[in-house]
Structures are given as C-alpha cells and as structure tokens.
Amino acid sequence: MHKLIIFLGTGQGELNPKHKGSYKVADYYFEHAIDKVYTTPYVGEAIIKAKPNEFDEVYIIGTKDSMWETLYFSAIEENPTDEETDNIYEMIDAKNAGGLSEAHFNIIEGKLTVLYGLKVKTCQTPVGLNSEEHWEIFRLLTEIPSDGDNISLDITHSLRFQPFISQLAISYLQTLKGVNIKNVFYGALELRNTYFEGKTPIMNLNSLVSMLDWTNAAFALSRYGDTSVFNELLDNELQKEFLKRSKYFYTVLQLNMVASIKSNAERFLKSTEKIDVEKLNSKAFALIKDTITDLPKTILSKEKEWHVLFELAERHWKNSQYGLAILSAYESIIERLANIYKVDARNNIDIYKELGKIAKKKRGFGDIAVKMAKFRNAVAHAETEKATEPNHVLENFEHFFNELKSRIDSTELENLPKYYKVTQ
C-alpha cells in the first residue's frame, strides 16, 4: 500500500500577519511536467491531483493549532450549505477552546475523501514543546505504515523541526518495518520568483533518503560486516565485484581465518578503487569510502599476524561482538608464540595445545593467558560455571585484555624456547 503523509501547519501568520490562518495560493508544478500547473494553497492537494492513481491512502498530520477548519472550508467546492457553515464555526470554536473533537475530524476526513477520491485520515500530534512530545510525534508517525508499505511525505507546511523528526522516523521505518520511502515532497514557494518565474516547483527531496541509505550501509558494513544494505545501492559489474569482495573479507573476519585475512583485505581495497563514482546516481560512495576502507587498510598495515588478531579483538569488543573479541584475543596469544617457535599452530591441534600450556607458564604473562583461555573456553565450549558467567566476562575481560596489550610484544617472550620445548 502507498500512503501519502501530509503535514498541515498553522499558516504563515507568524511570517506575515496578512496570511494568518491561511497559506498563499500558488501555481504548483512538477519538474517533469512543467506545463501542468495546479493552483491551490495546499501542496498536498497539488500532489494528489498530479498523481491521481499513485496513492491508496492520505494521512494529514497536524497539531491542535493547525488550520483544520480552513482545510475543511477549502474542500467545499461550491457555496457552503448551512450545515457546512455550522461545521466551520464549530471547528473554530473548538480550536479556540483547546482542540477539535473526534467528530470534527470525522467530518474533515469525509469531505476530503470525497474531494480526493481516496481514503483520507487525520492525525493530531502534540505541538512538540518538549522531549516527551517529540517522542509522541515520533511514535504517531511510525504507527502509520504497516510492514512493507510505500510511504511518501509532503513536508512543505510542517513546523520547522518536524522534517527532522520525520527523517528519524524514516530511518526507523526502513530498518525495522521494511517500509520503502518513495518520495519526500517540498513545495518551494520561497523560490518561485527568484528562480522559477513565479511558478512554484514541487521538489522531490529523495536525495535525503538516499543519504540516509548510504549512511546506514556504511555503518552496517564497517560495524557488523553486513553487505546487504549495499545490494540495493550498487548494481553494475564493478559494484558487484565490490559486494563480493566485501562479503568475502568480512566473512573471513567473522571466522577468524587468519591466513587469508590480509589477502582478502587487499582484494577488498582493490574492488573499491575500481568503482567509478561518477557513474553512481549518488556521490555518497566517495564520501563513505574512507569509513568502509579503514579496517582493511589497518589490517594491511600490521606486520605480524598476532597484531592483526589483536586489532580484530579490539574492534570486535568495541562493536559489542564479545565472543569474537575473546576468540581473537586468545588466538593472538597462540599466534605470538607460534611466531616465536616458528611453528604452524593453525593446522596442528597438538602444537596449538602445547603453545597454550606454555603461555600459561610464563611468569608475568601466564596469569593473563590462563584468564584468556578460560574466557575462550567459555565461548567455544559453552561453559556455564560462575567464573565464566556473562557479567563476569564483561566486567573482567577488558582489564585482562589491556594487560595483554601491554605484554604481548614483550621481548621476554622470545626466551620461552630456552625453557620450554614444542614437539614438532
């Protein structure tokens, strides 16, 4: 279902007393159909008339101070009947007394439904005078769409801060309800004389939604290794190569496949270099490129594999991926010793176990290795004893990790082969 959300304000009285309780009548048009002009004070009406078969429902959002009675009056196509005149005066009195009743809103909805030829609903929100009211506006906006709906917004007559709340609501709806934002309309009345020869263009600000999409894509990729958001933004062959390489790279990270981390990081970076930003509909990729390439560049800058694992442990912990952080931290200990002993611990479980035992014996290092091994076993083998309960891990891992950070590069570890042998 495609729903159009229109914001209704209080008129332009604060800007010009002549227009109190009303909007200026303007000649609205869409850029793709400049010869079709819609003369009306309401941009929403022009949008509906210009796109008669596009929307299934219309939601008009306003506060208790919005021009509900004026909107109702504008929907009366001929001289008002006595009943319609009574309705207008009753709405004015109710508004002055604190707000319209549900019965008044039903009357407005009925009149506009007939005028527009599609179902119209009204929604009264708080003015937005404090944080609690901002949250209530947010809640009401996010309750309008159902899962998978298409949404278009007309923000022309909204209060100045409402488009910002709308943008946040858009992010929520796209992320959690699978809502597709089709259009963000704005009637640029203030530009009509300077740039458009007296006519008022209805601008489509879809680029704002696109900016949000690219921001979410960069965040999901850099923090969680999730490439799915990019799938809808990139489509040509070079971009598909980027999607493939980024997915491989982050899969390797998640699986702690140390041997192929650097090679995949390099391929990922090369795929970003091949993307022709000029051919993208959005220049956003150029802006977020540094963000999404930071991790592979950092990994390639590390000389030793245990440094790579340590970097990953730090990043995983920062991103609340605690299990991966613990596994990477312990693997960095094993990899450090494997480098000292010049052995392959990744492909030999016996050597892996021996290095773990040796790490626990080294004075000034063994206590850390013991603790890290305990954390690691809790993750790998689902231990349930008190010493490895979640709260204990969260409260203690960071301390021991920082201790490990200060000691893992110690040259004293290089003396271990003098005292402890590894069976080849």
- The residue extents of the domains of the chain are 2-204, 216-301, 321-419
* CA 287 – CA 368 distance, rounded (Å): 41
What pLDDT tens digit does each residue of the chain (424 aa) get?
999 999 998 865 444 444 445 678 899 999 888 889 999 989 999 999 999 899 999 999 999 999 999 999 989 877 899 999 999 999 999 999 999 999 999 999 999 999 999 999 999 999 989 999 999 999 999 999 988 899 999 988 887 788 888 878 888 888 788 888 899 999 988 888 888 888 899 999 888 888 888 888 888 887 777 877 777 777 666 678 888 898 899 888 888 788 899 999 999 999 888 876 666 555 777 888 888 889 999 999 998 889 999 999 998 998 888 889 999 999 999 999 999 999 999 889 999 999 999 999 988 899 999 999 988 888 877 655 555 677 778 888 889 999 999 999 999 999 999 999 988 6
> Whole-prediction pTM value?
0.72
Counting Cα atoms < 13 Å in the Cβ hemisphere of 180 gives: 7
* CA 157 – CA 10 distance, rounded (Å): 8
Q: How far is CA 312 from the centre of its chain?
A: 24
> 319 with 223: CB under 8 angstroms?
yes
> 59 with 7: CB under 8 angstroms?
no
- Per CATH, the homologous superfamily of domain 2-204 is SSO1389-like (3.40.50.10640)
